[in-house]
Chains A and B, each alone.
Chain A
Amino acid sequence: MTEFYWQLPTGGDNRSGAFDQLSRNTRPTPNATIRDLRRNQFNNFDYLSQIARAAEMAGFDGLSIPYDAEGESAWIVAGAIAREVRRPKLVIDFSPGLGSAVYAAKQAVTFQRYSGNRLGWALASNADGAARRALGDFVNDADLAARLEEFLTVSKGVASQADFTFKGRFFEVLNGGFGGPLSGLDLPEITLSGDSDEALILSAKHADVHVFALGTYDLEDRVATLKAQAAEHSRTVRIAVKARVFTHDDAARARLDAERASFSEDADTLAGDFAGVASELARLGADRFILFAPNSLETAYRIGEHVLPLVRQSQRQAA
């Protein structure tokens, strides 16, 4: 069955900035003539938690928790909602260049123990060197792929072996490996991304899931290339497509919402009525869809109530 993931707005969305300055909404608030008792009691975590519950109740299989330079730490968001949503998987965006691969694996192991193996890692480093240096990461562009491979080797090594030693160009560990209840757990599912040849080669070897943006040039060809390369390694990589969604029972209203949000021309935007969006998702035929919207809470409910049932019904009929 196709999986549906909802992406949390870790950097805020169109919700009013009244309860938190972390918002994409710049409307002046609040109204001083109204007594406002909120003070500083709420911030984006309260909203993110509510979206996460919405996605769980609306039938999404997982939550995608992106890195956003203007937003919260994905690690902290995932932890903060892990005990409030019990079924969805929690996939965090995370750069392999920001610390020890052993420590990242150790954090993941604790997370897996507490969450019933629900953590996933979407690994990527910023493609822009200046943005990386602002994170204290001075690796060269040419070394990004090699570092990611080393990161995966080391994090998998310490999680799965008792006496793991490795000395690479970026990571080193001596007699490492976790013991007792920290050993033998599933490492996070690995999601990689990108549409370059190099990205596909890396995914063919290491990814469980590869995500393409909706509107990726020559998407069918890219998917076929990746699947063929993975097969050479006797592996399968599941294909995810990420899209921004505007949907309504009236297709014209969905397109109007997209225009108002200034996203109607974006290649990764999908706007249509419920049946239209459902049939477009069916046509794309990905193993997983990662969906998001500038009105995150409302759209999660709307898709869960009106679009997912159509997709799942048609899949059951086909099966």
Chain B
Amino acid sequence: MSSQIDFFWRLPTHGCSSSVRNPDLSRGDWVPLKEGNQAPGLYEGVSDGTTYIDHVAQIAKAAEISGFHGGLIPSFPMTDDPWVISSHLARETKTFRFMIAFQPGFINPVETARLTASLQRATGGRALFNIITGGGGPSQLWWGDSFAHDDRYGRTTEFLDILKGVWKDGPFSYDGRFYSVEGGTLPPALAATDLPEIYFSGSSDAALASASKHADFYLTWLEPFEQLKAKFAAVKEKTDALGRRIKCSIRVDLIARPTEEEAWADAKAGFEATAHKRSDSFRQASDSVGAARQAAFKASDAKHYDDLIIGPNLWTGFSLLRGGPALGIVGSYEQCAERLDELIALGADGFILAGTPHLEEAYRVGEEVLPLVRGRQASLSIAAE
């Protein structure tokens, strides 16, 4: 197993603000067009003809130039679609890998195999998945996913069985509880491409059984370090026992600045700028265990930004600044790198980082923080302390 650490960035799929100090969206068309807006912008009083993909392209290029492998492309009801984003940027990026957030209920596994193999050909093998196992019930029906089932991970397993079977062992037949296929195959030129790497989430035994069969990385939001350590140990132990150890990756936002004072000043400014509209984005979220853990930080109840500091450089106020999890890292470049090293020491093999604004922060984090990460070398000295 490689000891190197994989760093990804995130592509924001429903707009971005120009500063963490002022979280109002100003890039993309999720707000009315006004002076200073980007993609679309105003030029001589009318739309300048750019669309949000022009800005997303800028972020992807910044991330690849700055040393990130690629980016997670989230998919929610209010976002643009990751397959469309990936195919649009396929030919104008060089190394950027497209991590497509995807639920098995969206597209059947045979069609998904063809889409993905074609995307591999369009990009020279730069597609990968963040498989999300949807929870069933009304939120799935919004998506038109009408499978009535409680065996969520059973369906994900079948989906990936068929996707891989059609791709690599065609003509492939399968008669499952959720999906079937008779003689499914891809044309040779498509079948010759590599299967996408798979990032996977979920904490239950059923999730880990599915992950150990098909996943390459187990993906989690940042949680308090001891909690994460136990989680990673359990994932690695269980998937070891099931015959295929998987790696662990952490999705986390950063506010990284030359000094710790500047970083906290920006967190404070963002906190205060959103004081008038406190609505913790995870309050009315899904039945996800991970989402419940983030909501438990109760960021929206805080009176002062520093009520939300739960450890060195750890702040639970990020959910106030944008949709997404609460806990993230705030600190100097050195401190951010130290926290990442600690996470590597307790079992992280990779990260999906993000910061606002996503374009400028991709350069900043890539140029200022990533060079300071010591990775496994640091793990040894941290373990010795």
Contact = CB atoms under 8 A, between A and B. Distances in A.
Interface stretch (B174-182, B200-208, B262-270): B174-182
B143 interface: yes
B144 A171 contact: yes
Contacts of A71: 187
Contacts of B181: 133-136
Contact of B91 (A84, A100, A107, A130): A84
A43 B106 contact: no
A182 interface: yes
Interface residues of B, number: 55
B115 A114 contact: no
Interface string A79-119: 11111100000000001001111110011011101101000
A114 B189 contact: no
Contact of A100 (B78, B105, B162, B190): B105
Contacts of A11: 187
B106 A103 contact: yes
A111 B84 CA distance: 6
A6 interface: no
A76 B190 CA distance: 13
Contacts of B7: none
Contact of B51 (A20, A101, A114): A114
B290 interface: no
B188 interface: yes
A45 interface: yes
B144 A77 contact: no
Interface stretch (B117-125, B232-240, B274-282): B117-125
B182 A79 contact: no
Contacts of B74: none
Contacts, number: 174
A129 to B, nearest CB: 10
Contacts of B119: 73, 76
Given A83-B88, A173-B142, A76 B115 contact: yes
A279 B188 CA distance: 41
Contacts of B110: 98, 134-136
B115 A73 contact: yes
A21 interface: yes
B29 interface: yes
Nearest to B105: A100
Task: Give the one of B138, B182, B183, B184 with max A CB within 10 A.
Answer: B182
Interface string B75-97: 00110110111111011100000
27 contacts: A22-B189, A22-B190, A44-B189, A49-B91, A73-B115, A73-B117, A75-B87, A79-B87, A80-B122, A82-B87, A82-B88, A99-B111, A100-B106, A100-B143, A100-B144, A110-B85, A113-B53, A114-B88, A116-B51, A130-B182, A133-B183, A134-B182, A135-B111, A171-B146, A176-B142, A181-B28, A182-B80
Interface of A: 11, 20-22, 43-45, 49, 69-73, 75-84, 95, 98-103, 106-107, 109-111, 113-114, 116, 130, 133-138, 154, 158, 171-176, 178-182
Interface of B: 28-30, 51-53, 57, 77-78, 80-81, 83-88, 90-92, 105-111, 114-115, 117-119, 121-122, 138, 141-146, 162, 171, 179-185, 187-190, 192
